[in-house]
Amino acid sequence: MYNAVAENVLGTIGTVCWCIQLVPQIIRNYRKKECEGLPPMMMFLWAASGVPFSIYFFGTNGSIPLRIQPQLFTFFCVISWIQTLYYPPVKLSTRNILLQSIAFLVVAVGLEVGFILWLRPVYEHGTHWPMLVIGIIASVLLAVGLVPPYFELAKRQGRVIGINFVFLTMDSMGAFLSLLSIVFGTMDIMSMVLYAIVLAMELGIFASHTIWYLRFGRQLKKEQKEDLEQKLESESSTSGEL
């Protein structure tokens, strides 16, 4: 049943989540000074997806929040992508990272400006399929970006390393709330499929870590606690002898 208020509220909250969800991940990367378990390809594909998303929302005369969201999303994705290249385990040279970043930004801006100027008049004249193709490309890039983390999970028996759970929760909430906004509002099959795929793949990451913890995590935590107690006892006895 159509509900304009629910559609707008849920859609707005979902959009906000998808604007800033990477901030906790960026902070985590900066504090830890390493990005093991966070695939650079994931961040690159997400940053790349922001380009066609921006073309789509500008070209179809989307609302101001929908036009701003891809820009912020791409901005934070690029920062996180640069971090994955700068920090271990990749650790590229500053010159190499700078060249890759500038090349990406130049290509991204060129594509956005060129396609918006070209396709917006086409869309306004009633030919919608080119924009639909752009939207599909953006959705595919975003969804495929969630594949590399599964290779990282496979390396560690399902354990999540390097991915901030606050970021993952915010991203999942963004997908879920956006999906609900479509259910309450205008049914957009393409958007529903995108949000459902993103939500399912991110829930899969949560489930993988939960299963790992139930299988191995509790025992590992117990062993680490015992090792710490033994170390403290050893240091105490050594200081007593002195």
Q: Per residue in 92-104, pLDDT tens?
A: 999 999 999 999 9
* The two three-digit tokens of residue 205, written as one number: 């990451």
- Kindly report the average pLDDT of the chain as a whole number: 87
Look at residue 104 in the predicted model and tell me its pLDDT: 97
Query: Above 60 in pLDDT, residue 241?
Result: no
Whether 240 shows a pLDDT value over 60: the answer reads no
Q: What pLDDT score was predicted for residue 166? A: 95
Whose tokens are 């992508």? That residue is 81
Specify the residue for token string 């999540």. Answer: 160
In tens, the pLDDT along 51-71 reads 999 999 888 887 777 788 889
- The torsion angles phi and psi of 24, rounded to 5 degrees, stand at -60, -35
Q: What is the 3-state secondary structure (H, E, C) of the chain?
A: CCCHHHHHHHHHHHHHHHHHCCHHHHHHHHHHCCCCCCCHHHHHHHHHHHHHHHHHHHHCCCCHHHHHHHHHHHHHHHHHHHHHHHCCCCCCCHHHHHHHHHHHHHHHHHHHHHHHHHHHHHHHCCCCHHHHHHHHHHHHHHHHCCCHHHHHHHHCCCCCCCCCHHHHHHHHHHHHHHHHHHHHCCCCHHHHHHHHHHHHHHHHHHHHHHHHHHHHHHHHHHHHHHHHHHHHHHHHHHHHHC
In the predicted structure, residue 155 carries a pLDDT above the cut 60: yes
Confidence of residue 231 (pLDDT cuts 50, 70, 90): low
Residue-level pLDDT at 12: 79
Report field, pTM of the whole predicted structure over 0.95: no
Over 70: is that where the pLDDT of 108 sits? yes
Q: What is the pLDDT of residues 24-38, one digit of tens each?
A: 999 999 999 999 999
Q: How many domains does the chain have?
A: 1
pLDDT band at 1 (very low <50, low <70, confident <90, very high): low
Answer yes or no: are the C-beta atoms of 21 and 163 closer than 8 Å: no
Least trusted range by pLDDT, from 12-21, 28-37, 115-124? 12-21
Q: What's the pLDDT at 192?
A: 78
Domain coverage including residue 37? 4-240
Q: What percentage of the chain exceeds 70 in pLDDT?
A: 87
Confidence bin at 242 (pLDDT 50/70/90) = low
pLDDT tens digit sequence for 192-223: 788 888 999 999 999 999 999 998 877 777 66
How open is the CA angle 48-32-156, to the nearest 5 degrees?
75
d(CA 204, CA 175): 14
Q: Which two tokens stand for residue 79?
A: 């920062």
- Tell me how far apart the alpha carbons of residues 18 and 170 are, in angstroms, rounded to a whole number: 7
**Res. 13: pLDDT tops 80:** yes
Burial class (CB in 10 A: 0-12, 13-18, 19+), 219: exposed
